[in-house]
Amino acid sequence: MNKVLTFPDSFGMALSIRAKALLFHDPRSLALLEQVERVARSDATVLVIGETGTGKELVARHIHAQSERTGPFIAVNCGAFSESLIDAELFGHETGAFTGATQARAGWFEAANGGTLFLDEIGDLSMALQVKLLRVLQERQVVRLGSRRPIPLDVRLVAATNVDLHKAIAAERFRSDLYYRLSVATVNLPPLYERPGDILPLARHFIGLYGAKMKLDDVELGDDAASALLAYDWPGNIRELENVVHYALIVCRQGRISAEDLRIGGRVPGSRGAGPIAPTASISQPAAVNHAVTPAAGSGLDRLDALLNDLVEAGEPALFDTVEERLIRTAFSACEQNQVQTAKALGISRNVLRTHLKRFGLIGSEPAGGLHDTRPFHRLSATL
């Protein structure tokens, strides 16, 4: 019997990049489930590490459900706010604490008292907020903006990230002391391609869910389709699999999903994040070839590899910081100083982008109160 984790009323949720189901069938997944449930019985702070779409929030909800906590489960996406707003959203504020604060309001830490607070994309927090979060974890109390009165907390924190925090610490973008506070118990959630035993059971799970919604009875997964699903590397993880199955149910004929119904072409199986397959290109080539590529030949990434190799061999000082600043400046200019488009082009959140833009002097600081009042993404659930 497969163990399946889902959101309450998952069909009522807006489409997102989140995985809406997590299934444990593969031996690696079963071992992970055992670890998660052992961790849940403790009261330790948990850090869930995994790629986007692997089901990190579902793991956090299961930890809450398996614990003895009677309070709410609250999920907050740290990358969804501007830096000026997330402080008040997390820790609360008093009347008049900043422009627009017309009444006092509790933050998400207070709202989760007695329960579990899930902070997704923890790696997007600014250094200033990391200091405040560390203080809350150490002292188990929170002070609202505009107040000096500490409020005691009984909150279990579960944090999640798809960022390599060790690299972020080395680049001085994440505090090592906060990392050690968050990672009392660490759950590494492997990407879907590393747990192939879950792929077909998950596909059949989504066939059942969407088939019932579309009033399709007894839809079968053909052998050729099953082979295609297993051969694909799933860079979008569970969320991508859900979309593929949903589309296949729309276009399949005679109650059977075949390989031609699966919209998963255009990527090289087994090559994470590979681009469209070129008809005349070789799938793999020796690493040494990259050193022979000149800036005038090969793909853009080949030329970049060659240029970086030249800079490394030339002993360019502070190479990492130099390349990082050039990348941010070039992307920001190419996107005509549009922050949303720049963040999208670079594959990072707008919050992270703003930190870099400020660091390189490309934008100034916002007014204390911010320009927009953005309500946070959150969901409450006591059970799975």
For residue range 294-346, list pLDDT tens digits in order: 334 455 777 787 788 778 877 777 788 888 888 998 998 888 888 888 988 89
By CB atoms closer than 10 A (0-12, 13-18, 19+), residue 279 is exposed
**Lowest mean pLDDT segment, chosen from 48-57, 294-303, 345-354:** 294-303
pLDDT at 27 over 50: yes
pLDDT at 57 over 70: yes
pLDDT for 324: 87
Q: Determine the average pLDDT of the residues in 157-175.
A: 93
pLDDT for 9: 57
pLDDT for 154: 93
pLDDT for 310: 76
Model confidence at 383, in pLDDT bands (50, 70, 90)? very low
Phi, psi of 197 (to 5 degrees): -65, -15
- Between 324 and 375, residue with greater pLDDT: 324
pLDDT at 88 over 50: yes
pLDDT at 233 over 60: yes
- Between 300 and 77, residue with greater pLDDT: 77
By CB atoms closer than 10 A (0-12, 13-18, 19+), residue 384 is middle
pLDDT at 67 over 60: yes
pLDDT at 71 over 70: yes
The Cα–Cα gap between 301 and 303 comes to 5
Within 13 Å and on the Cβ side, how many CA atoms surround 249?
A: 23
pLDDT for 370: 40
Question: 3-state DSSP call for residue 253?
Answer: strand
Tokens at 161, concatenated: 């990230």
- Between 104 and 276, residue with greater pLDDT: 104
Question: 3-state DSSP call for residue 343?
Answer: helix
pLDDT at 20 over 90: no
Q: Write the pLDDT tens digit of every residue in 204-229.
A: 999 999 999 898 888 999 999 999 99
Model confidence at 78, in pLDDT bands (50, 70, 90)? confident
DSSP sequence for 108-119: HHHHTTTSEEEE
- Between 296 and 347, residue with greater pLDDT: 347
Q: Write the pLDDT tens digit of every residue in 99-158.
A: 777 788 888 999 999 999 999 999 988 898 899 999 999 999 998 888 889 999 999 999
136-140: long-range pairs with CB below 8 Å, 24+: 136/91, 136/109, 137/45, 137/178, 137/181, 137/182, 138/181
Q: Determine the average pLDDT of the residues in 79-90.
A: 79
pLDDT at 13 over 50: no
**Lowest mean pLDDT segment, chosen from 34-43, 242-251, 331-340:** 331-340
pLDDT at 170 over 60: yes
Model confidence at 234, in pLDDT bands (50, 70, 90)? very high
pLDDT at 238 over 50: yes
The Cα–Cα gap between 104 and 146 comes to 10
**Lowest mean pLDDT segment, chosen from 48-52, 73-77, 293-297, 322-326:** 293-297
DSSP sequence for 323-334: HHHHHHHHHHHH
pLDDT for 365: 52
pLDDT at 282 over 80: no
**Confidence (pTM):** 0.66
pLDDT at 348 over 90: no
